[in-house]
Chains A and B, each alone.
Chain A
């Protein structure tokens, strides 16, 4: 599924200088990783986790999380069920599926390879 990621990059959406916008495919991957690491979560929880981990480097319209969640669900990588959140509110809880775990492994490997390559290329140019 790394194609989706490249596609988003290829579209050349402008990246602001200090805060980077989250690329579509990247967000998907981050959500998968979050669910993998923390178990079932609702959308709000996922948004918090990403905020926390990214240490304010990434800007995120939190609504986009739901677009990602729907997409992941359509791929069959996550599943959801209704439950009760803290403060007794009805919320939908998402959890990663077996297929999702496999996909995450593939994506992670891809990402490492590509970011390694990009890092090397950028490093080269710097010298």
Chain B
């Protein structure tokens, strides 16, 4: 049981005091031999014979000493050092091989560990909540299973009842998203915040880094008395000033200035607030700037204002929690019309947080793993060829008495050394790549700001290196194990040739590489086609020469009208500005304002869940002209459409087609606040535009005049005559002239916004293209190597062929034929692989099927062509074999 521990311990001890033990052993044997000799002499033997007889009976002392030494200590350790030294020397002596193999592995390891680091940082790092696996987002879905037009929250009355009655939850808390500005004289600063109910901090297990969290006295109706700042915002806006606790800050739209009572611990991000997701400044992946205590207002207990999160009790399954919750919700729905038709659904918080990241990172991980496999294939082929060149050496070593295990150990050690070299280079590459990712993938991968190129890269890189060593070293090691020294020494053939068996093996490796590369190429091809299709989609509006920035007047409501009118006037007068408009709902930002409304001619909704919800936007008169959205019917907005005149709206074609098919919508009405209140008249109809998402067909939209809707946060949109970036300084100056405290943020061209809306696709495309180019190069090198080796090994055969009359072109055809069979086999295998693999890209594709035949044919043909090019040089070499010389040489 424990005897192996004894042995190990005594062997470890044996590592030290090696010499002493040897001399003790010698002394012991000497004594024995002398005693034995004396015994023989006593028995009457001649003293000279007695000594040699004693030696004979004792046995070979040298061998015995060696055996003792071996069993006394961990022999593999000194051997390992020897192997390492020898391996290093061999690598050093063939720098070309070492560099090529090392770089090959570095590319594979670098690519994979970079993607791994992203996964580690984005998916595997848990959020800073206590036991985050217990946290469940309680979402609202329609009981009849139909899709909702827009997300809905829960009424305070409902979740407060759950909190009291549902036993499978430790607690349930409500929260919401809020947006505001920290007022500053030199330009105010936006703050995204969370409104949280009493239990929230305790439930989530959040602690403040400074000061304290909210207590019961902070909750109540009326003015907000106290706030907690987010750590990152505290650093950004207050320079980490510890004196901030107890001081008041001025916040826009609030009548009183609240006191800062604490600073939250770092790294706390938002929980999703689906109903606020269309707000201009909503970013669920950002860190929270501001925490606001919120107590349900008794007047609005039945309004579905709240997002809800709950923590399951230890050991309670989500299913049980849901059952209990669903029962209570059904009862609530039967007693209150406003709650009718909705059911709860539990979504683990970590799943929700990782959904976007998983969607993009897992396919990329797969792609990088393919690159690593291809690189391992090349390294294995290189090691194998090198093994062939060193067969003589191996054979001699076996003949000299080196055990096969020892030989395998030597080969494995060399593979490992190579992989470590590749791993080290790869880690460097990965650190660089992660930094690059952080720059280019900012909008594609959520929470990328939290990723650091640190220990994770190192760990993954080294782990992968060992894995790569195993993959790349396994075949050469097996071959060394099966080596027959007699054959090799007898053969004594020229170096750098390979038998049929080895060539078949190498062809198999190259074929596999080709297949993997083709799968990568198909993926990249599909994404490139997608991007081309998206570029061809008519958006319906201009994206060129348009500048946007969010501009907010933070002082007071009464100042709203004068500020915006004056600002617009001044900005429009700047030279180079063609049109200027304010807009709430710039295309492709995802901004709009989903509102449940009644439309003329549509039957009133029977249940709350049946109400029509449509996205509203608000713009100033020049907006449609600026965007190039054509007026189809009726009129555009006028500057007189303000709070003193009747409410009007403009709809798009899709709206008319859906709600007034084959009729005019102009002159009709809709009611945002119920039919008993005055309605809004539709005065115009504009052309469709893909404002929500370029990949989705236009859906019904409603535009309100901004002068009536009076939106708080919004964008200033400018169309310029030249490069829009050139006017930024002038625009800021004019706006500050109207009000120095105005907040001016997120200055972007519409093209930038468009690119960001496609960021995850672009990132996936770039990465996959990069990976497939990398894979292609590696594979082509592999094919070149295999065919070259084949030509070298078949030199004699080729010479005989040409001696009996084969022409150069016949020989070339022969070699090309070999290359063709290899590549074609790989391509066919790759297509089969790609059919399966391309499915994971489905969510990224647009108007391209995962099995798109055009892509498959194009990519297959392209790789065939390039692959054959790689065979060209060896084929030419084969054609030039001089039969006389080749045969004489043999």
Residues of A within 8 A of B (CB): 1, 42-44, 47, 61-64, 66-67, 70-71, 73-76, 85, 87, 89-92
Q: Check B57–A61 contact: CB distance below 8 A.
A: yes
The A-contacting residues of B in range 202-258, CB under 8 angstroms, are none
Residues of A within 8 A of B61 (CB): 63
- B711 interface hit (Cβ, 8 Å): no
The distance in angstroms between the C-alpha atoms of A43 and B28, with both chains bound, is: 8
Q: Can you name the residue of chain A whose Cβ is closest to the Cβ of B27?
A: A90
* Interface-located stretch among B2-10, B187-195, B411-419: B2-10
Q: Check A62–B71 contact: CB distance below 8 A.
A: no
Residues of B within 8 A of A67 (CB): 64, 67-68, 71
Residues of B within 8 A of A (CB): 3, 6-7, 10-11, 24-25, 27-29, 31-32, 34-36, 38, 57-61, 64, 67-68, 71-72
Q: Check B71–A70 contact: CB distance below 8 A.
A: yes
The distance in angstroms between the C-alpha atoms of A90 and B71, with both chains bound, is: 24
Residues of B within 8 A of A89 (CB): 31, 34-35
The distance in angstroms between the C-alpha atoms of A1 and B880, with both chains bound, is: 68
Q: Check B32–A62 contact: CB distance below 8 A.
A: yes
Residues of A within 8 A of B27 (CB): 90
Residues of A within 8 A of B29 (CB): 63, 66
Most chain B Cβ neighbours within 10 Å, of A42, A44, A85: A44
Residues of B within 8 A of A75 (CB): 3, 6-7
Chain B: minimal CB distance from A85 (Å): 7
A-B pairs with beta carbons under 8 A, tally: 65
Q: Check B3–A44 contact: CB distance below 8 A.
A: no
The distance in angstroms between the C-alpha atoms of A28 and B347, with both chains bound, is: 66
User: Contacts A74-B11, A91-B28 known; A63 to B64 CB distance under 8 Å?
Assistant: yes
The distance in angstroms between the C-alpha atoms of A58 and B27, with both chains bound, is: 26
Chain A: minimal CB distance from B542 (Å): 84
User: Contacts A44-B36, A74-B10, A74-B11 known; A63 to B31 CB distance under 8 Å?
Assistant: no
Residues of A within 8 A of B57 (CB): 61-62
**Chain B contact residues: over half helix, strand or loop, or mixed?**
helix
Q: Check B58–A61 contact: CB distance below 8 A.
A: yes
The distance in angstroms between the C-alpha atoms of A61 and B72, with both chains bound, is: 20
Q: Which 10 A-B pairs have the closest CB atoms?
A: A61-B59, A63-B59, A63-B64, A44-B35, A74-B10, A62-B58, A44-B32, A76-B6, A74-B7, A63-B58
The distance in angstroms between the C-alpha atoms of A86 and B71, with both chains bound, is: 30
Q: Check A66–B36 contact: CB distance below 8 A.
A: no
Residues of A within 8 A of B25 (CB): 66
User: Contacts A85-B31, A90-B27 known; A70 to B72 CB distance under 8 Å?
Assistant: yes
Most chain A Cβ neighbours within 10 Å, of B24, B35, B60, B71: B35
Q: Check A66–B28 contact: CB distance below 8 A.
A: yes
Q: Check A62–B28 contact: CB distance below 8 A.
A: no
Q: Can you name the residue of chain A whose Cβ is closest to the Cβ of B61?
A: A63
Q: Check B68–A70 contact: CB distance below 8 A.
A: yes
Residues of B within 8 A of A90 (CB): 27, 31
Q: Can you name the residue of chain B whose Cβ is closest to the Cβ of A64?
A: B59
Chain B: minimal CB distance from A51 (Å): 9
Residues of B within 8 A of A85 (CB): 31, 35
Residues of A within 8 A of B32 (CB): 42-44, 47, 62, 66
Q: Can you name the residue of chain B whose Cβ is closest to the Cβ of A77?
A: B3
The distance in angstroms between the C-alpha atoms of A44 and B35, with both chains bound, is: 7
Q: Which of A1, A44, A76 contacts B31 (CB 8 A)?
A: A44
Chain B: minimal CB distance from A45 (Å): 9
The distance in angstroms between the C-alpha atoms of A1 and B4, with both chains bound, is: 11
Chain B: minimal CB distance from A58 (Å): 13
Residues of A within 8 A of B24 (CB): 92
